[in-house]
Amino acid sequence: MRIGVFDSGVGGLTVMRSLYKSSLFSEIIYFGDTARVPYGSKDKNTIIRYSLEAVEFFKNFNIELLVVACNSVSASAIPQMREEANFPIIGVVEAGVLALKNSLVKIDDNILVIGTKTTISSNIYQRLLGDLGFCNIEAIETGLFVPIVEEGIFKGKVLDATMEYYFQNLKRHPKYIILGCTHFPLIASAIEEYFTKQGQKPILIHSGDAIMEYLKNIYPNLREQDTQTKFFASENPNKLKEIAKQWLNL
C-alpha cells in the first residue's frame, strides 16, 4: 500500500516515523510545505488554499491514502480536500481522539488538549471529545512551543518559563494530555515532568502513534514488508531529507 503524508513543514516526520516503524506500507511519500510553514497562525481560507495545492501534488503519485499529519490542516481543511482528492484522506485529529476513546479513559477524567491557535480555536478537538461524552476538557493554545522546538530547545529554562506561562492557570490537573501539534512529541518528556512535579503523572497522546493504531484498525490486512520512502519539500528539500534520515534512522 502506497500512502502519502502531508505536513506544513518537518514536524510531520514525527507522524511519518510511527508509520514507517510499523513496516506495514510498501511506500510512504512525504510532502512538507516548508516554504510556507507555519500554518498554525494562518487564516482558515489560506490553509484550505495551500492544502488543496498539496492534494494536486499527491495526485501525481497514485497513492491509496493520504495522512494529514498537520493538526492545523486536520482542523480546517479536510472536507474541502476530500472533495478534490481521488484517494481517502484521514487526519491526526480524529485519530488522536479515537486513540483516547480506545484507552482506559473515563467519562469524567480531566483531558487537556494543547495546540496552535488554528487548531484550538477551530474547536475541533473540543467538539469531537464532547461528542464522545467527555465532559472535563480544557483546551489551550500553546503556540510558542513550535518555534521553541524549531530552535532546538527540548528542555531548560526557556521551556520551563513558557510551560509555566501557559499552564499556571489551568483549572484542573490533567490525567490525559493530547499533544495536538506534530512538534510537541519532541518536548513530551518535559511536559510530562512539569505535570508530574505537581501531582499525578499524566498520560500523553501522540498523534503519530494514534494514527498508526487507527490505520491498523481500518486496514486489518496490512502485512509487514520493506518500506520505500520519498521526501518532497516546497523549500530546502535536502534539509528535510537530512532531518528525516536522523529521525527515521534511514
- Helix pair angle (92-102, 124-131), 10° resolution: 30
Tell me if 250 sits within 8 A of 48, measured CB to CB. Answer: no
Q: Which is nearer to its own copies, 126 or 162 (CB)?
A: 162
Q: Which residues contact 227 (CB under 8 A, 6 or more apart)?
A: 20, 23, 24, 25, 26, 27, 28
In angstroms, what is the minimal distance from the CB of 166 to its own copies? 9
Q: Which is nearer to its own copies, 127 or 239 (CB)?
A: 239
In angstroms, what is the minimal distance from the CB of 142 to its own copies? 10
Q: How many CB atoms lie within 10 A of CB 25?
A: 21
Q: Which is nearer to its own copies, 130 or 147 (CB)?
A: 147
33 closest CA partner among 193, 201, 235, 169 = 235
C-alpha cell of residue 154: 527540548
In angstroms, what is the minimal distance from the CB of 134 to its own copies? 28
Q: Which is nearer to its own copies, 33 or 109 (CB)?
A: 33
Query: Which entry of 15, 66, 68, 70 is annotated as an active-site residue?
Result: 70
Query: Which entry of 81, 181, 190, 204 is annotated as an active-site residue?
Result: 181
C-alpha cell of residue 69: 499529519
Which residues are at the interface with its own copies (CB under 8 A)? 35-36, 41-43, 45-46, 143-144, 146-148, 150-151, 153, 156-158, 160-162, 164-165, 235-236
Q: Which is nearer to its own copies, 88 or 147 (CB)?
A: 147
Element (H, E) at 177: strand 176-180
In angstroms, what is the minimal distance from the CB of 104 to its own copies? 35
Q: What are φ and ψ of residue 81, in 5° steps?
A: -65, -40
Tell me if 91 sits within 8 A of 123, measured CB to CB. Answer: no
In angstroms, what is the minimal distance from the CB of 215 to its own copies? 32
To the query of whether residue 135 is one of the catalytic residues in this protein, the response is no
Task: Cite the active site residues.
Answer: 70, 181
